[in-house]
Amino acid sequence: MENMDGLNKAYETMGLEPHASKEEVEKRYTTLMRRERSRTKLQGDESASDDQDFSKVTEAYKQILAYEDRKVTDAFNEQEYGKYKGMAGQAQKMDHFWRYYKVHTFVAIALIAAIIYGINSYIDKREHEKYLASLPPIDLDVSFYGTFMQPEGKDNTESVNDILMSAIPEWKRVQSNIIFVPQDDMNQYAYLQKAVVTLMSEKPDIYFMDRAMFEWIGMQGALLPLDGKPEIAGASDDRTLKLSTEDVPEEHIYGIDLKDTVLYKNLPLAKTDLIVGIRVNSTRPENALRFIETHLAAAQP
């Protein structure tokens, strides 16, 4: 009752009927504020009594606005939580808690997920490193560039590695990678972009290439000149492939054609050519030369 009496007094102070609409209150306060400013300008200074009167108007205005805000809040709470009856207070507290801490909760969940992912990635990495450490050292690292494709359904190069390793019995481990690059000009550009990245970032011992990729890789200065190597001395002229590059304008032997060899027939890959070259900074150049020599010898009549 006391609160309602105070509210009615506030309306009276502003010169309004009790429970006037919020729009009327806003409009009335604006009018009184303009009137107060005009009075101040005309008088040149403010008398204490007039200032006190307008302060009362402002306090009444704030009181009415607070009452209007409570009405809106109460109506919302009744709509949202009235169905909980005696448990409405607890439901409201839980809802406020969730709204306030919702972002914090999502951030915490994301953080926990990131930590779990990081831990699993670390464990997987350690397991993979342990697996690699258990393998014998690499005898030869090979990359295929060009129109080389595995049979449908094959997603690893184990069978390819077995064939590459079979000619030299004491070798225990060969690893290979296939970079498919079509010869169709319409589709070649995107594949060449990947080929450029792998050519710069990976350092195999040997490249197997089709003729187009042999010329492209050779022009990048990525192949070791094979002239004078005793391991290829017995290679016929139709098997040795020469190139000149921008840096080395004289022609040199950079590739050996192994098409129509046992290796060509046995490799489980779709292919049109099988030109082998050694990377200029190969980690195992002796093994690479031995590999070429072995397959050249097998190809002799």
**pLDDT at position 97, please?**
55
pLDDT at 24 over 80: yes
Nearby residues of 176 by Cβ (< 8 Å), 6 or more positions away: 141, 142, 143, 144, 157, 160, 161, 164
pLDDT at 265 over 60: yes
**pLDDT at position 6, please?**
82
pLDDT at 2 over 50: no
Angle between helices 48-81 and 88-134 (to 10 degrees): 70
Compare 53 and 78 and report the one with higher pLDDT.
53
pLDDT at 276 over 60: yes
**pLDDT at position 89, please?**
53
pLDDT at 198 over 50: yes
Rounded to the nearest angstrom, the gap between the alpha carbon of residue 7 and the centroid of all alpha carbons in its chain is 61
Residues 223-235, mean pLDDT to the nearest whole number: 89
3-state secondary structure 263-281: HHHHCCCECCCCEEEEECC
**pLDDT at position 54, please?**
81
pLDDT at 195 over 70: yes
Lowest mean pLDDT among 73-87, 193-207, 255-269, 271-285: 73-87
pLDDT tens profile 66-117: 888 887 777 766 666 555 555 555 555 566 555 666 677 778 888 888 898 8
pLDDT at 242 over 90: yes
DSSP 148: -
**pLDDT at position 138, please?**
93
Strand ranges (E), the chain: 140-146, 174-180, 206-209, 240-243, 252-257, 275-278
**What type of residue sits at position 196?**
V
DSSP 190-251: HHHHHHHHHHHH---SEEEE-HHHHHHHHHTT-B---TT-GGGTT--TTTEEEE--SS--S-
Residues 104-132, mean pLDDT to the nearest whole number: 82
CATH of 138-299, one of 3.40.50, 3.30.70, 3.30.40, 3.40.190: 3.40.190
Cα separation, 233 vs 133, whole angstroms: 38
pLDDT at 151 over 90: no
pLDDT at 13 over 90: no
Ordered by start, the domain boundaries in the chain are: 2-91, 138-299
Quick one: pLDDT band at residue 213, thresholds 50, 70, 90?
A: very high
pLDDT at 252 over 70: yes
Residues 246-275, mean pLDDT to the nearest whole number: 92
